[in-house]
């Protein structure tokens, strides 16, 4: 049965042309509309598989308003518009369209856009079903596996993390009634490591006794349905919710999702998810929550209604550690931004969707591409890398698709192209933004038709290749300025992953520094133990325009120049001395020894992502007993509810 398409266009000539094009390709046009109200009536009447929308329509509402409504109804759509400037693209992007065709268009442009829309929609549906199936299976296994109930909570959080990201998860049983002592929170401190926070730890963090803590909790008004709060909404929420305000300020959280799980005995289990990013949660997470209600209901009834064993667990748990299995070997850091990247990789790796890795030079895009391939079902097949920026434009065609002997001057023998080499595996197109426009057309055709033709060849060769692309350019800006094809952008941008710059994840600098010290000690035969506090202060202040690659180069240079086993003062490139100025400027007051000690403890806490005790905690890093560190923190006025605790 042909797919039904609804055309929403206020120019009859354009609408009629679109009808002719799509019907010729085998689609069925189920109706025309020139305004939002008429379009919604036709959607309800015909249930089209796709809607083609012009941005400017008759009436007050635009195509973008219609797109928002279609998104809520899970009806896929793509834009047909004469406007492709940056402002329009930004507004259109927020509606998550499946494609964009720019007027004036050719028949080929429309059909390719529909093919891409079908591809994106099919993969998004497949990904969503894959998510739910994996989670249901994982949670069911956890529920039915004998283990201590607190261990099960951590494992449930571990399973949810990939698809429902959080930095802090709190479980509140029966919070509509009197709060009991079985409330538990887990704080994420590494990719697959969590710190358990119960009432005892909460009292210590809040500086309250149990009755004071329960007083805060009893003032909460729980949600009656799942909902999410972005940064501004979250600030408004916590202004009237004292306990959640404490959680937000104490752990530097900026967004929130509340999920009530209604049990069959009439009681409720509340799951509260918090994130340090302001825009973590969206409507997709609510859809996922709704689909998980049944299995989470079983979880609530089996975990929280069973007899407590009373077994004490370690403050830090690492159940069935994925980290120990080296999923992200060679990628250093525990910042929440990097952990979010890891979560994205775990989510997209098992499916065959195209991935677009965005980020500045030196942020580690190639390493992430490598991890996606090695965590995928194609891991036993080739992983072919090509740096598009390193090849002359005249050679890219031959490198990607190959050539026959005699195809051009200098072609003395047949050459197998990268796509052919990558058959059944993955091809990584680094710096995809550097490919010239004329080759972009050919690349798009290869991606759509899954076949190539060598230069000078007369036969087509079928290829089955997964695409991972990366760029340090703003591709939306490149599209708006005519340097990158919009249809190719939508074909590649099925699952974007943004690599954070080093300046946004400074808490990872100490661990990266230690990692590179070990590497260059082996390389040079030296035995540098560490960098001094002065050196670390310099590195923490520096802006790192070259990101991790620059940090690696700076550490190599300073290891070579070191005259003792401690690097005391970092030497930066001469043209970037601005950020490596001395710690004390002329006329600036010198800090006291007490203030220096306070700053040192704060730096240690930040580098440990707020973890105070246990393996990898600040007490271990400072070589202090936890009780001594706690005493010093009280004496120096260091509290988790103060901004400087988190380095903000």
Condensed to tens digits (0 to 9), the pLDDT of residues 165-198 reads: 999 999 888 644 443 446 789 999 888 888 888 8
Let me know whether 635 and 512 are in one domain: yes
- Tokens standing for residue 95: 């509606």
Query: What pLDDT is attached to residue 589?
Result: 53
Split at pLDDT 50, 70, 90, the class of 592 is low
End-to-end CA distance of the chain: 58
Q: How many CB atoms lie within 10 A of CB 428?
A: 26
Let me know whether 189 and 294 are in one domain: yes
CATH, residue 402: 3.40.50.300
Q: Which residue has the tokens 């407590």?
A: 308
CATH, residue 225: 3.30.450.80
Let me know whether 391 and 491 are in one domain: yes
| DSSP label of 220 | -
pTM of this structure: 0.73
325-329, 386-390, 395-399, 455-459: range with lowest mean pLDDT: 325-329
Let me know whether 215 and 171 are in one domain: yes
Return the percent helix, strand and coil in the chain, to nearest 5. 45, 15, 35
CB 518, CB 147: distance < 8 Å: no
Q: Cα dihedral angle (193, 198, 204, 209), rounded to 10 degrees?
A: 170
> Hey, which residues does 179 pair with through a beta bridge?
none
Mean pLDDT of 473-484: 86
Q: Are strands 355-358 and 495-498 parallel, antiparallel or unpaired?
A: parallel
Number of domains the chain contains? 4
Rounded Cα–Cα distance for residues 579 and 570 (Å): 11
pLDDT at position 85 over 50: yes
Let me know whether 28 and 152 are in one domain: no
CATH, residue 618: 1.10.8.60
Let me know whether 492 and 513 are in one domain: no
433-442, 489-498, 500-509, 581-590: range with lowest mean pLDDT: 581-590
CB 228, CB 644: distance < 8 Å: no
Let me know whether 156 and 256 are in one domain: yes
**Does residue 556 lie in a domain region?**
yes
Rounded Cα–Cα distance for residues 144 and 138 (Å): 10
Mean pLDDT of 490-494: 87
**Does residue 337 lie in a domain region?**
no
201-210, 295-304, 308-317, 467-476: range with lowest mean pLDDT: 308-317
Residue 140's nearest CA partner among 303, 262, 347 is 303
Final residue of a structural domain among 94, 125, 156: 125
CA angle 481, 87, 97 (to 5 degrees): 95
> Hey, which residues does 216 pair with through a beta bridge?
none
pLDDT at position 599 over 90: no
Final residue of a structural domain among 448, 479, 500: 500
Let me know whether 299 and 164 are in one domain: yes
Let me know whether 402 and 524 are in one domain: no
Residue 495's nearest CA partner among 383, 592, 372 is 372
pLDDT at position 31 over 90: yes
Q: Is 309 helix (H, G, I), strand (E, B) or coil?
A: coil
Tens-digit pLDDT profile for residues 398-445:
889 998 888 888 888 989 999 999 999 999 999 999 898 888 988 988
- Cis-peptide into 441, omega within 30 deg: no
**Does residue 137 lie in a domain region?**
no
Beginning with the edge strand found earlier in the chain, give each strand of the sheet holding 355-358 in spatial order. Answer: 383-387, 426-430, 466-471, 355-358, 495-498
Query: What pLDDT is attached to residue 237?
Result: 92
CA distances from 222 to 107, 127, 225, 227, 262 (A): 54, 31, 9, 11, 12
**Does residue 132 lie in a domain region?**
no
Let me know whether 181 and 318 are in one domain: yes
- Tokens standing for residue 139: 């949670």
Q: Which residue has the tokens 């400074």?
A: 506
Residue 89's nearest CA partner among 122, 55, 123 is 55
CA distances from 486 to 101, 112, 476, 480 (A): 8, 11, 8, 8
417-431, 484-498, 519-533, 621-635: range with lowest mean pLDDT: 621-635
Rounded Cα–Cα distance for residues 13 and 145 (Å): 64
Non-local CB neighbours of 286 within 8 Å, separated by 6+ positions: 226, 227, 228
Let me know whether 220 and 166 are in one domain: yes
- Sign of CA pseudo-dihedral 161, 164, 170, 171: negative
- Tokens standing for residue 593: 């020894």
pLDDT at position 391 over 50: yes
Residue 55's nearest CA partner among 22, 88, 86 is 88
Query: What pLDDT is attached to residue 163?
Result: 83
| DSSP label of 330 | T
143-157, 446-460, 633-647: range with lowest mean pLDDT: 633-647
Q: Is 571 helix (H, G, I), strand (E, B) or coil?
A: coil
Q: Which residue has the tokens 């965590």?
A: 375
Q: How many CA atoms lie within 13 A of 4 on its CB side?
A: 13
Query: What pLDDT is attached to residue 162?
Result: 80
Query: What pLDDT is attached to residue 347?
Result: 86
Mean pLDDT of 566-575: 77
pLDDT at position 334 over 50: yes
Instruction: Look at 395 and 339; give whichever has higher pLDDT.
Output: 339
**Does residue 221 lie in a domain region?**
yes
**Does residue 635 lie in a domain region?**
yes
Query: What pLDDT is attached to residue 604?
Result: 76
CB 259, CB 166: distance < 8 Å: no
Q: Is 484 helix (H, G, I), strand (E, B) or coil?
A: coil
Rounded Cα–Cα distance for residues 48 and 33 (Å): 13
Residue 456's nearest CA partner among 414, 489, 515 is 414
Final residue of a structural domain among 445, 466, 500: 500
> Hey, which residues does 429 pair with through a beta bridge?
386, 469
Let me know whether 117 and 157 are in one domain: no
**Does residue 216 lie in a domain region?**
yes
**Does residue 332 lie in a domain region?**
no
Q: Which residue has the tokens 């939508």?
A: 490
Query: What pLDDT is attached to residue 140?
Result: 82
CATH, residue 82: 3.40.50.2300
Segments forming the whole domain that contains residue 491: 349-500
Rounded Cα–Cα distance for residues 498 and 358 (Å): 5
Query: What pLDDT is attached to residue 216?
Result: 82
């Amino acid at each position: 049965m042909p797919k039904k398409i609804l055309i929403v266009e206020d120019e009859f000539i354009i609408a009629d042309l679109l009808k002719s094009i799509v019907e010729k390709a085998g689609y069925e046009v189920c109706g025309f509309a020139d305004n939002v109200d008429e379009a919604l009536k036709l959607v309800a009447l015909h249930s089209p598989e796709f809607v083609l929308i012009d941005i400017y329509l008759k009436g007050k509402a635009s195509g973008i308003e219609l797109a928002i409504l279609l998104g809520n109804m899970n009806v896929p759509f793509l834009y047909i518009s004469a406007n492709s400037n940056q402002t329009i693209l930004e507004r259109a992007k927020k509606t998550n369209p499946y494609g964009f065709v720019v007027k004036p268009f050719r028949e080929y442009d429309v059909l390719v856009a529909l093919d891409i829309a079908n591809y994106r929609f099919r993969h998004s549906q497949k990904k969503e079903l894959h998510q739910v199936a994996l989670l249901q299976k994982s949670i069911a296994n956890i529920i039915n596996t004998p283990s201590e109930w607190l261990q099960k909570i951590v494992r449930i959080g571990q399973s949810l993390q990939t698809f429902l990201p959080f930095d802090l998860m709190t479980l509140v049983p029966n919070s509509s009634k009197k709060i009991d002592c079985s409330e538990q929170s887990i704080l994420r401190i590494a990719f697959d490591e969590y710190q358990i926070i119960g009432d005892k730890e909460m009292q210590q963090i809040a500086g309250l006794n149990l009755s004071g803590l329960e007083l805060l909790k009893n003032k909460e008004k729980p949600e009656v349905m799942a909902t999410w709060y972005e940064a501004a909404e979250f600030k408004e929420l916590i202004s009237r919710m004292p306990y959640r305000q404490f959680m937000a300020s104490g752990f530097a959280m900026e967004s929130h999702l509340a999920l009530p799980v209604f049990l069959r005995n009439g009681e409720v289990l509340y799951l509260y998810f918090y994130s340090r990013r302001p825009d973590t949660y969206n409507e997709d997470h609510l859809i996922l929550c709704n689909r998980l209600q049944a299995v989470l209901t079983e979880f609530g009834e089996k975990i929280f209604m069973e007899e407590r064993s009373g077994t004490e667990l370690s403050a830090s748990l690492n159940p069935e550690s994925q980290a120990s299995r080296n999923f992200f070997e060679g990628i250093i850091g525990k910042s929440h931004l990097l952990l979010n990247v890891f979560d994205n990789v775990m989510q997209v790796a098992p499916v065959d969707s195209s991935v677009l890795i965005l980020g500045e030079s030196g942020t580690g895009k190639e390493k992430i591409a490598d991890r996606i391939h090695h965590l995928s079902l194609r891991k036993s097949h080739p992983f072919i890398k090509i740096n598009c920026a390193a090849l002359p434009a005249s050679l890219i065609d031959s490198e990607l698709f190959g050539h026959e002997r005699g195809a051009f001057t200098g072609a003395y023998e047949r050459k197998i192209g990268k796509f052919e080499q990558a058959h059944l595996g993955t091809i990584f197109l680094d710096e995809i933004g550097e490919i010239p426009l004329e080759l972009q057309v050919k690349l798009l055709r290869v991606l759509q038709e899954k076949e190539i033709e060598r230069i000078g060849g007369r036969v087509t060769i079928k290829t089955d290749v997964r695409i991972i692309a990366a760029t340090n350019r703003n591709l939306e800006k490149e599209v708006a300025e005519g340097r990158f094809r919009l249809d190719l952008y939508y074909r590649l941008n099925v699952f974007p992953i943004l690599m954070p710059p080093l300046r946004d994840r400074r808490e990872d600098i100490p661990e990266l520094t230690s990692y590179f010290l070990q590497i260059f000690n082996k390389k040079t035969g030296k035995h540098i133990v560490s960098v001094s506090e002065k050196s670390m202060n310099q590195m923490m202040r520096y802006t790192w325009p070259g990101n991790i690659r620059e940090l690696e180069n700076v550490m190599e240079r300073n290891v070579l120049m070191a005259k003792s086993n401690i690097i005391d003062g970092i030497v930066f490139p001469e043209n970037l001395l601005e950020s490596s100025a001395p710690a004390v400027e002329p006329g600036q007051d010198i800090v006291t020894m007490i203030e220096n000690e306070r700053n040192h403890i704060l730096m240690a806490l930040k580098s440990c992502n707020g973890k105070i005790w246990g393996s990898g905690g600040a007490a271990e890093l400072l070589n202090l007993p936890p009780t001594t560190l706690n005493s010093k923190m009280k004496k120096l006025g260091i509290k988790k509810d103060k901004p400087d605790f988190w380095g903000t």
